[in-house]
Amino acid sequence: MPLPLSGTNFTAYSGLAELLDRNYVHSKVAGAVIEAYDALSKSHKELVFVYGETGHQKGGSFPPHRTHQNGLSVDFMVPVRNTNGKPASLPTNPFNRYGYGLEFDRQGRMRGYQIDFEAIALHLEALHRSAKRSGLGMQRVILDPAYHPALFATSQGPSLRSQLTFRPHQAWVRHDEHYHVDFSLPCKPLR
Amino acid in the structure at residue 3 = L
Q: Map residues 61-100 to x or -, x wherever contact with Zn ion holds by CB under 5 A.
A: --------------x-------------------------
Using omega within 30 degrees of 0 as the cis cutoff, is the peptide bond preceding 64 cis? yes
Of the candidates 136, 147, 180, 181, which one interacts with Zn ion according to CB under 5 A? 180
Taking Cα atoms as reference points, which of 106, 103, 50 lies closest to residue 79? 50
Stretch that binds Zn ion, among 32-40, 101-109, 111-119, 176-184 (CB under 5 A): 176-184
Instruction: Please give the residues from 19 up to 58 whose contact with Zn ion meets the rule CB under 5 A.
Output: none
State in angstroms the smallest separation of the CB of 190 from Zn ion: 31
Listed as own residue / partner, the contacts of 162-165 with beta carbons closer than 8 Å and 24 or more positions apart are 163/128, 164/124, 164/128, 164/138, 164/140, 165/138, 165/139, 165/140, 165/141
State in angstroms the smallest separation of the CB of 54 from Zn ion: 8
Q: Map residues 131-170 to x or -, x wherever contact with Zn ion holds by CB under 5 A.
A: ----------------------------------------
Rounded to 5°, angle at Cα 99 from 97 and 104: 120
**Residue with smaller CB distance to Zn ion, 97 or 188:** 97
Q: Where along the sequence are the contacts to Zn ion (CB under 5 A)?
A: 75, 180
